[in-house]
Structure 1
Amino acid sequence: MRPRIAVVGSGPAPDARPPGGTLDLHEGLGQSALDKAGLLAEFQALSRPEGQAMRILDTAGTVLRDWRPRPGDTANPEIDRGQLRDLLLGPLDVQWGRGVTQVVPGDRGGVLVHFEDGRQERFDLVVGADGAWSRVRPAVSSVTPHYTGVTLVETSVDDIDTRHPDLARLTGDGSVAVYGVNRALVAQRNGGGHVKVYAQFRVPLVWHTNLDPADVEAVRSSLLARFDGWAAPVLELLRHGGAFVHRPLHVLPVSHTWTHVVGVTLLGDAAHLMPPLGAGANLAMLEGAELAESIATGPGDVDQVVRAFEERMWARAGTWAEITTAGLERLVSPNPAEALALFDEVQAS
C-alpha cells in the first residue's frame, strides 16, 4: 500500500505575500532537482544567465571588480522566485490555507498532524519543509534558530530602466555590491525592470527601538545616516526605494542533526537554516527531489529510506553551512577587503 505522505510548507500561497528576490540555481544542486522533475528546459527558458554578473564598488564609488559571465555560462543563472514557485507548483495539487500547529510522532498508527482549523489527520510520513520557524521541527529537535548579528533591510526600485536609467547602469545585468566597515549595500536585478536593494549591517537584534518599521521615510533617513559618506549614486538606491522590510538573519547550528524519529523528517531551512548566500533554496530543492526519488524507487521500508536520506543531507548541508557562515563573516566584516578577497577566491575556484 502506498504510504500517506504530508509535505508541510513548500512556500507561501501565491498571493499571501511578495515571493522575494531572485535566486541563482546551481548546476548539481537546484538545476539537478529541476532535471529530475523534468522541468529543466522550462527553467532555462525563464532564467537569466546574464544575471550572474557582479560589480563591486568601494564606498567612494570606484569600480573594483566588474565580472560578467561568458556566453553560454549556465552555472548559476538567476530566476525570480515567483516564476520558480509557479514552475514547481503548477502541476501539483496543493492544499493552501491548512496551517499546521503541531506534529506528534506516534506508534504504528502514524504521525498526528494538528491543523489551525482544529482538524487532525494521521500520516505515515510528515516532511517539514516549512522554513526557519518550522512547526514540524519540534517533533525531532529542540533547537531553535539564533541571530547572527547581521540584519538586512530590503527595499526595491521598480521600472528602473525607464525611471532611473543611471541606477540601471549602476546595477548592470546582475548585481552591484558595496562593502564598508560592518555594513554593505547590495542591489540585485530581478525580472521586469525590478531591482531589490539590501542594506546589511551588524547591529543588536532590537536595533530600531525608537524607529517605526512601517514609517518609510523614517527608515530611509535612518539608513542614509548609517551609510553617510558613501558615494551619492550608491545612496540613490536607498533614496528611490519603496517600502522597507526588516530581515534579521537567523541560523541553525552548523552541525544541526537530530536523533531519527520514525515518521518525521525535515529538509531545507527547517533542517539547516544558514546565511542566505545562494545555498538554501538549492539544497532544499535537491533534497526534496532526492527524498521523493528514493521513496519512489527504493525498498518498501520508507523509514529505512528516510534514515539514509537524513545521513546524506546532514553531511552535505553541514559543508554548506560552514561555507555560508564563514562567507557572512567576511561579507559584513570590520575589514571590507575580506569581501573582495572572498569574491576573488570564489572566481578562482
Structure 2
Amino acid sequence: MDIAIVGAGLGGLALARVLHVNGIDAVVYEREAWRGARGQGGMLDIHSGQRALRAAGLIDEFYAIARGEGQDMRLLTPDGTLLLQEDTPDDAPLLRPEVDRADLRNLLLDSLPEDVVRWGHAFAFADKGLLHFADSSSAAYDLLVGADGASSRVRALLTDARPVHIGKNVVEIGIPDIDRTHPDLAAMVGRGTYWVLGDGISLAAQRNGDGRVRIGVSFYNTAEDWFATSGIPFDDPAAARARLIELLPGWDPRITALIESCDDTIMPRSSTSLPIGLTWPSTPGATLLGDAAHLMPAVGQGANMALLDGAVLGLALAAHPHDFPAAVKEYEREMFERTGAAARKSADMHELLSSPDAAQKMLAFFQPG
C-alpha cells in the first residue's frame, strides 16, 4: 500500500526514516525545488525528540552534530543585570543539546534512499485516493500524512481548525561570523543563548554552528497587524535597525549593540497557534503530524513533538502493516495526549514571557524554591 507524506520537514522525514528501517516504503512530496531552496532557521533544543532519533537508528549521528555547549544560557534584564548564567561542563551529558535545524534535516535526508523525497511537488488537493499537485501531476495513495507545517493544506481534510495569532510578533536578525567581526559581543553572548526579558519584550541571541548569532526580538501583547503599525521600515535595513532600538527605550547600550551590529537580513514573523488539545475523528486514509497537527507557541517543544510524531506513527504502521486505520488510531491516541500536554506547557510559558516581570518569573522557573 502507498504511504504519501506531504512535507519534507523534520516530522515527515522522521516518519519516512522509521518506516525505511522497518522495511516499509513511503514517498515524501516536497514543494521546494531542492533541499537548499530555503533557509531552515536556527538552533533547536532537542530533548524528548532524542527518543525518535533512537527509533530511527540515528542517535549516534545526532550526537556527532549536536552542540553540548549550546546548552549554556545567560538571562538578563533590559538594564543589563545578569540574573542567571549557566555554563555547561564539557563532559556534561547531552540531555538538551542544540543542533542546527538544517544539519538535523540533512542528517534525516541523507539517511533515506535518494528517490524517497520528490522535490518540486506542491500539494494542491486530494481526491479519491489521488494526490494532485500544482503542476497538474498526480499520485495515488492509500495513506496520506500531512506533515506540511503551520499552513498545512492537508489539515482541511480532517478539521476546520486554523492557526490564530497569539499576540506575539518577532523580528529576526543576526550577526554573521561574530567571533571575527565582533569579538566583544561574542564574549558577551557566550556559547549558547543570551536572553533578555522585560517590558513585554524579549531579545534572544543564540549561537549557530556556522558562527552566526541569530537574534529574535519578540514583542508580546501586540496585534496581528503590529508590523504595519510599528514604524519598522523593513525595506531599509539600516533604518529598521534604528527603529528597533527606538522600540527598546532604556535598554542597556551593550544589549542594543547586538542590533546595531546585525547584517541586512531582517525578517518579520507573526506567531500563531492551533487550539490547545485539538483532536479530530480518526479518518481512514489520512492523518497529520508536527505543526500541521498541533502548532504551538515556539518555546522549545515543536520540533521535539514533530520528531516523536514521525517515530510513533512509523512504529504503529510497522506494527500494523496491513491495517492502516488501526495504526492511525493508535498513533493519534498517543499523539493527542502527548502533544496536548506539550501545548498546554507551551501556552503557559508564552503567558509567562508576555508578563511585565517575565525575567523574575523565568529566574524562578530555572531556580525553583
Q: TM-score range by the shorter chain?
A: over 0.9
| Contact 1:103/1:135, CA 8 A, preserved across alignment | no
Could you say which residue in structure 2 is the equivalent of 1:289? 311
Q: What pairs with 1:131-210 in structure 2 (closer than 5 Å)?
A: 131-202=149-220, 203-209=222-228
d(CA) in 2 for partners of 1:286 and 1:14? 22
| Contact 2:169/2:226, CA 8 A, preserved across alignment | no
Q: What pairs with 1:38-57 in structure 2 (closer than 5 Å)?
A: 38-57=57-76
1:34-63 deviations in whole A, cap 9, x for unaligned? 111111111111111110111011111121
Distance 1:291 1:187, change over 3 A: same
| Contact 2:319/2:327, CA 8 A, preserved across alignment | no
d(CA) in 2 for partners of 1:208 and 1:186? 19
Displacement after TM superposition at 1:168 (Å): 0.6
Could you say which residue in structure 1 is the equivalent of 2:100? 80
Q: What pairs with 1:1-349 in structure 2 (closer than 5 Å)?
A: 3-11=1-9, 13-26=34-47, 29-70=48-89, 71-92=91-112, 93-104=116-127, 106=128, 111-202=129-220, 203-209=222-228, 211-242=232-263, 243-298=265-320, 300-336=322-358, 339-346=359-366, 348=368
d(CA) in 2 for partners of 1:59 and 1:73? 32
Letter of the aligned partner of 1:83 in structure 2? D
Moved more, 68-77 or 271-280: 68-77
d(CA) in 1 for partners of 2:254 and 2:3? 52
Displacement after TM superposition at 1:192 (Å): 2.5
Could you say which residue in structure 1 is the equivalent of 2:12? none
Q: Structure 1 regions of 5+ residues with no counterpart?
A: none
d(CA) in 2 for partners of 1:255 and 1:343? 28
d(CA) in 1 for partners of 2:282 and 2:368? 39
Letter of the aligned partner of 2:203 in structure 1? L
d(CA) in 2 for partners of 1:220 and 1:294? 49
d(CA) in 2 for partners of 1:270 and 1:169? 39
| Contact 2:316/2:327, CA 8 A, preserved across alignment | yes
Distance 1:174 1:31, change over 3 A: same
Structure-1-length-normalised TM-score: 0.93
Q: Structure 2 regions of 5+ residues with no counterpart?
A: 10-31
Moved more, 216-225 or 312-321: 216-225
Structure 1's consecutive aligned runs of 4 or more residues displaced over 4 angstroms after TM superposition are: 346-349
The share of aligned pairs that are identical, in percent, is 40
Q: 1:17 is paired with a residue of what secondary structure? A: coil
| Contact 1:179/1:332, CA 8 A, preserved across alignment | no
Displacement after TM superposition at 1:103 (Å): 2.5
Moved more, 202-211 or 280-289: 202-211
Moved more, 291-300 or 279-288: 291-300
Distance 1:181 1:160, change over 3 A: same
Structure-2-length-normalised TM-score: 0.88
d(CA) in 1 for partners of 2:69 and 2:108? 22
Q: 1:208 is paired with a residue of what secondary structure? A: helix
d(CA) in 2 for partners of 1:298 and 1:72? 39
Displacement after TM superposition at 1:343 (Å): 4.3
Q: 1:147 is paired with a residue of what secondary structure? A: strand
Letter of the aligned partner of 2:65 in structure 1? L
1:219-259 deviations in whole A, cap 9, x for unaligned? 21221111122011110111111211111100000111112
1:109-132 deviations in whole A, cap 9, x for unaligned? xx3211010122220001001100
| Contact 1:151/1:249, CA 8 A, preserved across alignment | yes
Distance 1:100 1:179, change over 3 A: same
| Contact 1:200/1:332, CA 8 A, preserved across alignment | no
Displacement after TM superposition at 1:213 (Å): 2.4
Letter of the aligned partner of 2:124 in structure 1? T
d(CA) in 2 for partners of 1:343 and 1:7? 41
Distance 1:346 1:261, change over 3 A: farther
Letter of the aligned partner of 1:170 in structure 2? M
